[in-house]
Amino acid sequence: MRRPSCGSKKKRVLETGPAPGAVAPRRARFNDAQIEMSHGAGGKASRRLVEGLIAPAFANPILAALSDAATFSLGGRRVATSADGYVVRPLRFPGGSIGELAVNGTVNDLAVSGARATALMASFILEAGLPSDVLRAEVEAMAAAAARAGVPIVGGDTKVVEHGLCDGMYISTFGVGEVDERLALDPRSVRPGDKVLLSGPIGDHGITILLARGELDLEANLRSDTRSVWPFVEALLEVCPAGLRWMRDPTRGGVATALNELARDSGLGILLREEDIPLRREVRGACEVLGLDPLHIANEGQVIAIVAADDADRALDAVRSVTGGEGACLIGEVRADHAGTVVGITLYGGTRAIDMLVGDPLPRIC
């Protein structure tokens, strides 16, 4: 697929085609008779739904890239636009709330596409009977998050449904921004030897939500990491725009899912060193108790970036010097072997495949 031309004088020439020796990705088919929860979990089932049912129906070159934001040219500029829906339960949780997630989520999808969010819109679906104070709190949280992210919420829509539907409220946000012209983010520009940079500890958000639901009777001092990641992207743009190959915010499905998608789309292998992956003690504890893998847990305030090897150290320093980025680490590298998969190196030099999630991560007892 060729990227549509943008007419800018500083246009970068994109090397089209996959890296030499790369394995071509297989497109998924959708044969499921009904929609299941797993289709919304961000893993393999979600991918099947989008690639097998939704994308083919809408088929067009801009959609074909299926990245976090859609980029296209508008009046000679390269524009990114993104949409995201939030259905989280409970509405409020340590570290944030549905409104904050909705704002930061779209800001972040644009950020990892190389665009600073210029404007957001918000669509509310509200349940009849929702206390107005609850809505007020969320709207105020959204305003605060938008102010922190430096983006105005310029419009939207509100609908109300009968009591019993939509869990209080669902919020969708839509955003637009201009893609930094120095960037050519694309899985096919990733090369063996490139490094994997992670902005901070993983699993905070997903575990916080799991605990906040109260069904597992676990207590821990944990907060969602929801925040705008634009400051990290900005720092990377300042030191190595040319060496920045690809970025993703690892939300549902976690780091494992995001990197598996990259492995598949680039046809290359990704090697992660487990001892280098930053993890809070309590997230580790919760995962050990419940039998979960932190690599599959959602994050709402992190970036994974693939950077050229020569730029990796400077990129790391740049992200670490941003407030909130002190925990950033280089966690692995891109390889020509293990093509299409993500492999972990354990503490003892053993290898294990890091697979994409199927549905939601479920606690286990066995």
Residue numbers at the binding site for other proteins (CB under 8 A): 34-38, 44-45, 215-221, 279-282, 284-286, 288-291, 338, 341, 343-353, 355, 358-359, 362-366
Q: Which is nearer to other proteins, 38 or 104 (CB)?
A: 38
**Closest approach of other proteins to the CB of residue 327, in Å:** 12
Q: How far apart are CA 307 and CA 246, in angstroms?
A: 8
**Closest approach of other proteins to the CB of residue 348, in Å:** 5
**Closest approach of other proteins to the CB of residue 273, in Å:** 12
The torsion of the CA quartet 173, 300, 305, 235, rounded to 10 degrees, works out to 80
Q: Which is nearer to other proteins, 132 or 221 (CB)?
A: 221
φ and ψ at residue 49, rounded to 5 degrees: -60, -50
Residue 168: strand, helix, or coil: coil
**Closest approach of other proteins to the CB of residue 15, in Å:** 27
The number of residues in the chain equals: 366
Single out the residue of 68, 301, 100, 265 nearest to residue 177, CA to CA: 68
Question: Quick one: tokens of 188?
Answer: 């096919």
Q: Which is nearer to other proteins, 161 or 289 (CB)?
A: 289
Q: Which is nearer to other proteins, 149 or 256 (CB)?
A: 256
- CB contact set of 119 (below 8 Å; sequence gap of 6+): 151, 152, 153, 154, 175, 176
**Closest approach of other proteins to the CB of residue 122, in Å:** 29
Q: How far apart are CA 67 and CA 61, in angstroms?
A: 12
**Closest approach of other proteins to the CB of residue 67, in Å:** 23
CA distances from 39 to 52, 196, 259 (A): 12, 28, 19
**Closest approach of other proteins to the CB of residue 351, in Å:** 5
Q: Which is nearer to other proteins, 45 or 126 (CB)?
A: 45
Q: Which is nearer to other proteins, 185 or 270 (CB)?
A: 270
**Closest approach of other proteins to the CB of residue 350, in Å:** 2
Q: What is the Cα 197 distance to its own chain's centre? A: 14
Q: How far apart are CA 186 and CA 102, in angstroms?
A: 25
Q: Which is nearer to other proteins, 38 or 108 (CB)?
A: 38
Q: Which is nearer to other proteins, 128 or 353 (CB)?
A: 353
Single out the residue of 339, 316, 29 nearest to residue 187, CA to CA: 339
Q: How far apart are CA 140 and CA 103, in angstroms?
A: 11
Q: How far apart are CA 315 and CA 233, in angstroms?
A: 10
**Closest approach of other proteins to the CB of residue 2, in Å:** 31
Q: How far apart are CA 46 and CA 103, in angstroms?
A: 22
Single out the residue of 327, 340, 312, 341 nearest to residue 244, CA to CA: 312
Q: Which is nearer to other proteins, 37 or 59 (CB)?
A: 37
